[in-house]
Structure 1
Amino acid sequence: MTDEDSKLISDEAETTEASDAAIDDPGQDATEDAVLEDGAIEDGDAGDDDSSGGESKDFMDSETDADDAPAMDWYILKVAFNREDSIADALRKRIKMEGMEEFFGDVVVPTEDVATFTRDGKRRITKRKLLPGYIMARMIINDDTWFLVRETGGISDFTGSAGKPMPMDPADIERFVNRPEVDDDDEPAPIKTAIPFKVGDRVRVKEGNFENQEGDVDTVDEANGRITVIINIFGRSVPMELDHWQVEPL
């Protein structure tokens, strides 16, 4: 073999090795591309997971919003004297007529059961208004409910400060709303004696719902042993009918 033939064979071998290397490189590039594509798919899956997590959070937020919906509270409404029952009925009818039952609970005229004796000595149970000139409503305050209440005939306003309705204190709810009824088997009322008060006397309530409240005697009912005392409640003068033994002079 001549030198020229040897050189030719050597050149062909180098050419063959270069071709093989060129063939190997595209395969490696394709593998790297596949890895990159797999990584992109994984990244895409991760993005989907984030999206799902976001939807779950929104759902939880909506549930929290539902849980934070305003609850009903008891409110005191100023109404015309001696019309408490009819005004309460009118308010109930308007609530039903406007289809707003979901925003209202009970509407009550606070009363207490009182045991009295007739002139012939018979005992009877009668209803006595605890707060003449007021009724109480359990409700959610919003523009619509506020307007409905204020537009009901005989209702002048909510009790509160700066024109803002104030919910009742829990102690007042127990005092005026959640009251037990008097049964005929309960202890009889004390025997009434001569009334030691006259109109204009300053007195203090010594027992009952208005204990320690002060006021002036407005009327004296000797036949039934009762007196009417003007007491200031919720910033308003209210006539309260009491048994004479429930008060003491100042």
Structure 2
Amino acid sequence: MSEIESSKAWYVLHTYSGYENKVKQNLESRAASMKMEDNILQVLIPEQETVEEKDGKTKTAMQKTFPGYVLVEMIMSDEAWYIVRNTPGVTGFVGSHGAGSKPSPLLPEEVDQILRSMGINPRKVDMNVEVGEVIKIVGGAFAGMEGTVTELEREKGKIKASVEMFGRETNAELDYNQISKINE
């Protein structure tokens, strides 16, 4: 991992509730106009798809997971920090103690969980498993068992495997980080 790669992190911005989209738009345009795209990398509004039934009709809508908060992936520098915290609609960084102190980034596990809940594969995992291959399950409810890969969902970082449990085949959906190759 390069030094730049390791110094980038996700931070949480507090915004006026209802202004999340405007903050995202403002921040992206400020990063572009101030030539800071190398430091301010991504801006995300955590959302989940919800299903509502109204008047007998089913409707899906995107609902903000954390209203009033926006995530930003950035390389923390004095200039990037200044640009982000002075973006209209941003009230501050979460994890900053004020008085000019830099904020604490989110832990990688926290970021992974948020991205996964949005249907985004947090890390591209390059595990060369194939359909039909027997794998060892190292995490989750099926940890310690072996399974046969039945389907690969590389974009989502998931695999489906058939696991024998109580004398019958059971289908399991697993993250790549929950499996390992048997011959490794």
Partner-residue secondary structure (3-state), 2:117 = coil
Instruction: Tell me, yes or no, if the aligned pair for 1:107 and 1:137 is still in contact at 8 Å.
Output: yes
Q: Aligned partners of 2:75, 2:19: CA distance in 1, in Å? A: 24
Describe the SS at the equivalent of 2:38. Answer: helix
The equivalent residue for 2:47 is 111
CA distance in 1, matches of 2:66, 2:118: 17
Deviation at 1:111, TM superposition (A): 0.7
Indicate how the Cα distance of structure 1 residues 150 and 161 shifts in structure 2: closer, same or farther if over 3 A, else same: closer
Asked if the contact 2:28/2:43 (under 8 Å) is kept, the reply is yes
| More displaced 10-residue stretch of structure 1: 72-81 or 168-177 | 168-177
Distance 2:118 2:28 in 1: 23
State the shift of 1:81 in Å. Answer: 0.8
Structure 1 residues 151 and 161: alpha-carbon distance in aligned structure 2, compared to 1, 3 A threshold: closer
Matching residue of 1:98: 34
* Mapped partners of 1:140, 1:158: distance in 2: 14
- Aligned partner (choices 87, 102, 124) of residue 59 of structure 2: 124
Question: Partner letter of residue 68 of structure 2?
Answer: G
More strand per residue: 2
Specify the alignment match of 2:11 in structure 1: 75
Write the letter of the residue equivalent to 2:95.
G
Deviation at 1:130, TM superposition (A): 0.7
SS of match in other structure, 1:101: coil
Aligned length: 115
Asked if the contact 1:72/1:104 (under 8 Å) is kept, the reply is no
Q: In proportion to residue count, which structure has more helix?
A: 1
Distance, in Å, in 2 between the alignment partners of 1:114 and 1:140 is 33
Higher RCO by CA contacts (8 Å cutoff, separation 6 or greater): 2
Q: Which amino acid aligns with 1:87?
A: V
**Structure 2 counterpart of 1:50:** none
**8 Å contact from structure 2 (residues 10, 73) kept in 1:** yes
1:144 to 71, 74, 79: 79
Q: Which amino acid aligns with 1:144?
A: E
User: 1:75 Cα shift?
Assistant: 0.3
Report how far residue 98 of structure 1 moved: 0.5
Structure 1: runs of 5+ lacking an equivalent = 1-65, 182-250
Describe the SS at the equivalent of 1:124.
strand
Q: Secondary structure at the match of 1:160?
A: coil
**For the Cα contact (< 8 Å) 1:130–1:176, is it kept in 2?**
no
| TM-score where L is the length of structure 2 | 0.58
| SS in structure 1 at match of 2:116 | coil
Secondary structure of the corresponding residue to residue 31 of structure 2: helix
Equivalent residue of 1:138, what SS? strand
CA distance in 2, matches of 1:180, 1:91: 21
User: How many angstroms does 1:151 deviate by?
Assistant: 1.3
CA distance in 2, matches of 1:74, 1:67: 17
Q: For 1:102, what is the secondary structure of its paired residue?
A: coil
1:27-66 CA-partner distances (Å, limit 9, x unpaired):
xxxxxxxxxxxxxxxxxxxxxxxxxxxxxxxxxxxxxxx9
In structure 2, distance between residues paired with 1:173 and 1:67 = 20
The runs of at least 4 consecutive aligned structure 1 residues that moved more than 6 Å come to none
In the TM superposition, residue 114 of structure 1 has moved relative to its aligned partner by 0.4
1:134 is aligned to 69
